[in-house]
Amino acid sequence: MPPLRRRDRAQYIELVAKPQCFKPVNWRRNMFREVRVAAISFKPVKLDLQGNAVRLEEMFREAAAGGAELAVAPEGVLEGYVVNEIFDGEISPDEMNRVSLTMRSPVIGRFRELARSLNMCLAFGLAERIGGEVYNCAAFLDQRGRLRGKYHKMQLAEGHHRSWWFNRLGKRSRAFDTPFGRAGMVICNDRWNPDIARIPVLDGARYLLIPSFGSTARAQDRAVLARARENGVPIVEANVGVTLIASKGEIVALSRKKTAITHGTIAIPAPPSHRNRDRHERGFLAWRRREMPLRYRDRMGRRRQGRDTVEVGHDAKGRLIEKE
């Protein structure tokens, strides 16, 4: 790195060094709750509701055997995600009436019972029927089998037409309470839009779940990681062909296998409160008591030496240093 004039060093510290120095404070252990999660990938069979339910139950059981407290499965995993085949004329729209579900259906009841028996939270995609309309839905069941939250996809890659009763747009996104804190969900194409992920976080979500059945390109990995970093929350994505778990702004587990159960641990940040604010502030002040005298001695020592320029870098712990 080229030498910096002294008047430029303060700006360099503000833009580059400060985030490095703050990292230990941001990730204090007592400000997070660690949760063991699993992201599931398998390709469901089109229109095979019962067969897909059997397969999904097997995958959930395997996820629980690996220690997961929460398991997430792909978008449209029960009906097989058939909207593209409807658009292409390969499947009749009327078939959606047969494979779409209400939240009181026996299939959903099956997974309520499974959640209770495994003592594990489940999140998965389905086609939800409400009256005469069908929505691309993600549901969250807690370890007692209770429906804690659901979400309807709000952004469609194919656009939307008012005649598409079989693929309605979601109208709102809200966070919901879970055993691990408030959560939010987005579905597949939603992940490309920062605003959609931001809405549940502004409603108090401390982690996000993304059931997907779409792109497996590296760009989608970057998009998911960007949503995690923008919002300061962990994300669990279950895509067909990509399972990704992000925590503390980094990818902690990733698989590109078509059939996979990927386990990982996420650190869910504590909700905003005066108590957590004060705890975080005390951590910063403790760091500052150590850091400011070091900076003072460094600055005064350099001034006494009469040096006009310094070459800067970082040590092994990421702290700013001046090179001799």
Biggest CA pair distance of the chain = 83
Give the pLDDT score at 11.
40
Number of Cβ within a 10 Å radius of residue 270: 17
pLDDT tens string 68-81 = 999 999 999 999 99
Give the pLDDT score at 247.
98
User: Percent of the chain at pLDDT above 90?
Assistant: 73
> Residue 39 belongs to what H/E stretch?
strand 32-41
pLDDT tens string 31-60 = 899 999 999 999 999 999 999 999 999 999
Domains of the chain: 4-26+275-323 (no CATH), 33-270 (3.60.110.10)
Nearest of 278, 221, 319, 310 to residue 31 by alpha carbon:
278
DSSP state of 69: S
